[in-house]
Structure formats: C-alpha cells, structure tokens
A and B are shown apart, each in its own frame.
Chain A
Amino acid sequence: MSRLQHAFERGKFVVTGEIGPPKGVDLEHCLRDAEMLRDQVTAINVTDLQSAVMRIGSMAVCAKLVERGLEPIYQLTCRDRNRLALQSDLLSAWAFGIRNALCLTGDHPSLGDHVEAKPVYDLDSVQLLKAADNLNQGHDMAEHDLDGKPNFFLGAVVTPAAEPIEPQLIKMEKKIQAGARFFQTQAIYEPEKFEQFVNGVQELEIPILAGMVVLKSAGMAKFMNKNVAGITVPDSLIKEMEETKAEDRKKKAVEITARIIRNIKQLCQGVHIMPLGWDELVPEIIKQAELS
C-alpha cells in the first residue's frame, strides 16, 4: 500500500507537493526541489509534460524519487499516448516502484511548444482511470489477464470553481465510479467557494486535497485570472500582493497560502501545494498553516 493511501486510511491530514521535470537530462535542480519537500509532504506529484511542453518524462523522475525514498504521484495524461502505451506505462511505473497515479486529460498540444504534435486522447481521463483500475484487478482493456497485477492508488482532479460546476461534478462522480480514490483540486483562493463545493460533494465520501498554487506576485494572479480556467484570485489578494515590496513577496506568499489553508483545512482531507519552484517555502507554509 502506498504511504499516501495509508495516510488517508489513518485519517491523517495529508499534504502533497509537486515538482516539474526539466527540459533536458539535468535533474539536479528538480531533485533539489524534491529534497526540500522531504519530511514535509506525504507524496510528491511529478507532472507529465506540463503545459504540453516537451520535457523528460514523469516516470523517469518518479523512479528517481523512489530511489531516494521519496514517494511520487505519477501524473499521467491522455494527450500523448494511446491505450496501449498508457496501460504499458502504468505497468512500467509499477515496476519502478511507483504506487500512486494521477490520471488527467492533459493540456492540448496547441498550448505547448510542439503545436503540430498529434493530440492523441485515445482515452479520456475517466476511461484512463477505468483502464488503470482494471489493471489493478489483473486484466487489461482487452480483458486479457495480467501476469502479476499492480495495485495503484488512483487519483484524479477536479475544478471546484468551474462555472458552471455541474458538468465538473458529473465528471467527478464518473471518475469515482471508474476507480479514483482521491482528488486533487485546481488552485483554491476563495475559501467560501471551496466550502460550497465541498458541501455539494460530501455524499461522494472521497478524500479531497485542496490545490494551493503559491501566489508569487500580483501579475501572476492577474495572469491566472485572465488565462487559467477555474482559478479566481480575489481582488483583495491581488491588492495585498501589490502592496508588498518585491523583497517581501516570498514572506507574503507564505502568509497568504498558510492563511487559505487554515481557512479550509476543516473542509477537506488535505492540501496539495504547488510551489512552482519556491519549494523552499513549503516548510514555513506548513508551519504557519499549523499543520506540522
């Protein structure tokens, strides 16, 4: 059983982190980021060609984390692989000691740096979860038996602030039926909206890790408001960042993230912190959020 699954089963408030593999083979920086999360988080997401930008793969970096005794959450998107490759990669990941898999649709290639790439999407995230769950049960999508089966702890994502929310909720329920055992959410900045969402999904009885994207600047907040689906940074937070001197921004970022976590921690089973390179702030965020 993965440590992540074990933590949920013990009813522990779970903290997960995230690292992004680099473009190239120099993993030093990325593994240093992961080291900063050691003893702070239960598991670390490793993104899969995030933003559809070609990089070293999630599986390789996950395997490096396993080697170092860190627990990865293998992010797997439907964008680049057909059902043969997705199932095969899951089996390969298991062989490398990877025990958690987060199944995602994936950003469209047109948003990344290889815009002429063929978008695959042979499966969608619900179908991928079902395929992964079938592997757990010992057979593939063609209903052939496996010689040795994995036992992945499967996760999925949801956007609590999507408008309208109903299609997201319908899909969330389908993901649970397909095999999702926990959820990580899109970044949360508005505790009241998150509360509404949580109240709406309580009967699903599924662990939810609230997404925390560390706010680095007012500019970043405005950019996300304009461009990123399902993220709304309230004006009050933008103002707070604007009034912060450049040299105090990291301190402010910690303060804001910790405050949001304090406001929502009664509502969910944990938080997923996405520090976007400011990994050194995670211990202080956890401390100020009164999680340690």
Chain B
Amino acid sequence: MHATIQKPIEEIDSYFRPGEKVFVVGCDNCAAKCHSGGIPETQEMAARLQKRGVKVIGWCVPQPAGTSLCKLSNTKRVLQEEYGGHVKQADSFLVLACGQGFHTVMDATDGGVVHPGCDTVFGGETVSDDFITEYCSLCGECIVEYTAGLCPVTLCAKSLLNGPCGGAKDGKCEVDRNRDCGWQLIYDRLKAIGRLQQMKQYMPPKKNSKWSRPRSLTLGDGESTFRSLTGEHTVRNRD
C-alpha cells in the first residue's frame, strides 16, 4: 500500500486562486486506510475548504468500495460519467491520495489541473488498522532471500548490504535510539532460522539502474516486461 498523510490545510488552501472552482477526489483503498483520503476525510476536506472560503463544487471517492483511485479505467468512468457535470464545471481537482492516484486524476480528466492534498510517504504493510510501516523500498532488485526476509535497504538507515555499521548501541540505530538496528534484526532472525552463514556472503553493490525512474511494467499474455535504465526485462509468468 502507498502510505499518505494530508498536507497542512494552510498549504492546500494556498494552492487555489481566488474564485477557483475545486472538485475534491479521494481514494477508497490506500488513502482510506491511511485516513488521508477516504470518504469521511474527503467529505470533510470539502467542508473545511468551504469554511476557508474556497469554492468547492463537490467531492467524490470513486467506488465500488475498496477500489484504488490509481485504477484509471474506474476513475475515468466515475469522473466522466457519474460526475461529468462537476468535472466540466471544475477549474481544478484536489486529490487526497498518493502520487499515483494524483496522476490518475490528471489522466482521467484529460489533463485537468490537479492539486496534491497529500504527501506520499512510503510503501508499507498495514500491520493493523492504526499502524502502517515500511518493509520495502521498491528498489527493483529484491535481496531478502539472503537476509532472513528483512530488507536492509529499508530497515538499515544507511541501506548497508554487508552487515551493521559501528553506530548501533544496545541493538538500536545511531539515527534514532528508539528504532531497531536493521542489521540486528537481520542477524537475530538469520540465527533463529539457522541461516547465519548467509550473512558471511559478500553482497555486491545495488544495481541503481533498476531503481531509475520512471519505471514501467507491461503485461502481456503470460509474460511481463519491466522497463528501467537496465533496459527491457521480460519474464514468463506461466509455462
């Protein structure tokens, strides 16, 4: 999931020109789970902006329930068909969702003016209804097979691949003494599952070209093609 947090209302307010007609769009998947752009927050954002004098002409969170805003076909259908009148009338759109959902609204409104209502902070695991945390940095080159399933790129503040730095104290990271040292977690788990030998293996530097942006994925019949600065990489998903 893409974790998001709302921008301060003052910053959002500052985006609009006097008299600008704004339509607010939320997301019923990730942003709803983050309480940054679900139905209640989107409705409330419309009211909060109206109270501050912004001309809000309506709001929506594309349904069916649980649908991601970043699914363009659905967002386009909802905005163009269910809210076609509003979309035509709007000067701009405020999106309460991640950066992908934000761009989806731009596409769904054929290049409409879109304002970001949220900061996209990370991709995370929804550990519970009120806690989301980051285990993956979307680097394009997964190495957790060798690190007991725990990603050092994400869990180590320095993304070190060959073991801990000298900064950890009592198993806590030098960056924040309340945060676990990622390599301590990896070491403990490798030991617990009887695979400590893997820590002795040299890990080569990351291929940052796989982390180059923007990246894309094209899905074909039984195959997927990933594009990055490493070039095109096609794999068969089925025999």
* Cβ-closest chain A residue relative to B160: A124
Q: State whether the Cβ of B228 lies closer than 8 Å to any Cβ in chain A.
A: no
Contact of B166 among A105, A123, A170 (CB under 8 A): A105
Task: Write out the residue numbers on chain B whose beta carbons fall within 8 Å of the beta carbon of A162.
Answer: 166, 168
* Contact of A164 with B167 in the complex, beta carbons under 8 Å: no
* Cβ-closest chain B residue relative to A172: B163
Contact of B157 among A119, A163, A171, A229 (CB under 8 A): A119
Q: State whether the Cβ of A166 lies closer than 8 Å to any Cβ in chain B.
A: yes
Q: State whether the Cβ of A81 lies closer than 8 Å to any Cβ in chain B.
A: no
Binds B, one of A106-114, A198-206, A213-221, A279-287: A106-114
Q: State whether the Cβ of B183 lies closer than 8 Å to any Cβ in chain A.
A: yes
**What 0/1 pattern do residues 226 to 237 of A give for CB contact below 8 A with B?**
011110000000
Residues facing A in B167-205 (CB within 8 A) are 167-170, 174-175, 183-184, 187, 196, 199-200, 202-205
Contact of B202 among A123, A163, A178 (CB under 8 A): A178
* Contact of A229 with B166 in the complex, beta carbons under 8 Å: yes
**What 0/1 pattern do residues 174 to 204 of A give for CB contact below 8 A with B?**
1001100000001000000000000000000
Distance in angstroms from A118 CB to nearest chain B CB is 12
Task: Write out the residue numbers on chain B whose beta carbons fall within 8 Å of the beta carbon of A121.
Answer: 158-160
Known: A110-B175, A167-B199, A229-B174. A174 touches B162 (CB 8 A): yes
Number of A-B contacts (CB under 8 A): 88
Task: Write out the residue numbers on chain A whose beta carbons fall within 8 Å of the beta carbon of B206.
Answer: 122
* Contact of A141 with B187 in the complex, beta carbons under 8 Å: no
> Chain B: how many interface residues by the 8 Å CB criterion?
28
* Contact of B158 with A105 in the complex, beta carbons under 8 Å: yes
- Please measure, in the bound complex, the distance between the C-alpha atom of A171 and the C-alpha atom of B164, giving whole angstroms: 8
* Cβ-closest chain A residue relative to B152: A124
**What 0/1 pattern do residues 202 to 226 of B give for CB contact below 8 A with A?**
1111101000000000000000000
- Please measure, in the bound complex, the distance between the C-alpha atom of A124 and the C-alpha atom of B203, giving whole angstroms: 10
Task: Write out the residue numbers on chain A whose beta carbons fall within 8 Å of the beta carbon of B169.
Answer: 227-230
**What 0/1 pattern do residues 154 to 173 of A give for CB contact below 8 A with B?**
00011100111011101101
* Cβ-closest chain B residue relative to A171: B163
Task: Write out the residue numbers on chain A whose beta carbons fall within 8 Å of the beta carbon of B235.
Answer: none
**What 0/1 pattern do residues 63 to 85 of A give for CB contact below 8 A with B?**
00000000000000011000100
Q: State whether the Cβ of A126 lies closer than 8 Å to any Cβ in chain B.
A: yes
Q: State whether the Cβ of B161 lies closer than 8 Å to any Cβ in chain A.
A: yes
Distance in angstroms from A166 CB to nearest chain B CB is 7
Where the two chains meet, the residues of A that have a C-beta atom closer than 8 Å to any C-beta of B are: 78-79, 83, 105, 107-108, 110-111, 119, 121-127, 130, 141, 157-159, 162-164, 166-168, 170-171, 173-174, 177-178, 186, 227-230
Where the two chains meet, the residues of B that have a C-beta atom closer than 8 Å to any C-beta of A are: 157-170, 174-175, 183-184, 187, 196, 199-200, 202-206, 208
Some 10 contacts from A to B, beta carbons below 8 A apart, are: A79-B158, A107-B167, A121-B160, A122-B206, A126-B163, A159-B166, A167-B187, A168-B163, A168-B166, A170-B163
